[in-house]
Amino acid sequence: MRFCVSIPCFFPKTDFCDAIKKAASLGYDAVETWSWKGLDAEKVSFTCRETGVEFMSMCTSEFRMTDPAYRGAWLEGLRESCETAKKLGVKKLITQVGPDTGAPREKQHEAIVGTLRAAAPILEEYSVTVMIEPLNTYVDHKGYYLWSSREAFGIVREADHPLVKVVYDIYHQQVMEGNIIPSVTKNLDVIAHLHAGGHPGRHELQNGETDYKVVFAAIDAAGYKGACGLEYIPKLDPVQSLAEAKRIYS
């Protein structure tokens, strides 16, 4: 399993380029972030080349997909995000689908699919993959629409485009569903990226109820070729936490 460091989780107050260098010094060859706004694209790109670290993913600037009235704004945000991704060498964008509007779920589902289909020309123009993310609504994201990985997989299959995928966050799905190994290994065709955190608390992997050694081994054995982003809030010193994750799971 290849691992990716989520910079905001571990080094939220550190200069972004210095954080890349810290990740590289710990043996990691990939990083990701949430918001890209405020990044110096030229400086970040140089640092990635200098360290051999891939800037793997970041978020779109707009997240409202459940309401078709916001489709134009989401698509504009996607283009803006793709333009920045091109400068940074990023090939994957994470997007949330937005809040449950209270409309019938089938209508919100249709709105998300329609927006993703409308995104195809932009994704093709920039050769960027957009990944929708199911999140937990019990602890961290009350009122969010997409909590079910099964529905996320269905949305992507309905959108039916190779540049539209799912980011499967093991922490969120452990909260909502469990059944992690079958959910991932039977749907690798629509999963482009993983996230991981220990549950409960979203801290170090080794301190939660999920046996990540078993999970990662099963996903590797199933042929997964992507990466897993370490997206948790460390209880240990951040450098120690990343060093421990590398020691335990690499």
Per-residue model confidence as pLDDT tens for the chain (250 residues): 999 999 999 999 999 999 999 999 999 999 999 999 999 999 999 999 999 999 999 999 999 999 999 999 999 999 999 999 999 999 999 999 999 999 999 999 999 999 999 999 999 999 999 999 999 999 999 999 999 999 999 999 999 999 999 999 999 999 999 999 999 999 999 999 999 999 999 999 999 999 999 999 999 999 999 999 999 999 999 999 999 999 999 9
Strands (E) in 97-221, as ranges, are 129-132, 164-169, 191-196
Of the candidates 24, 69, 15, 70, which has an alpha carbon nearest to the alpha carbon of residue 51?
A: 24
Q: Are 112 and 132 in contact (CB under 8 A)?
A: yes
Q: Are 238 and 10 in contact (CB under 8 A)?
A: yes
Instruction: Report the distance separating Cα 171 and Cα 53, nearest Å.
Output: 25
Of the candidates 243, 94, 108, which has an alpha carbon nearest to the alpha carbon of residue 168?
A: 94
SS3 label, residue 40: coil
CATH 3.90.1530.10 fits 2-249, yes or no: no
Q: How is residue 184 written in tokens?
A: 């991932």
Provide the residue ranges of all domains of the chain, joining segments of one domain with +.
2-249
Distances, alpha carbon 242 to alpha carbons 44, 90, 233, in Å: 21, 22, 11
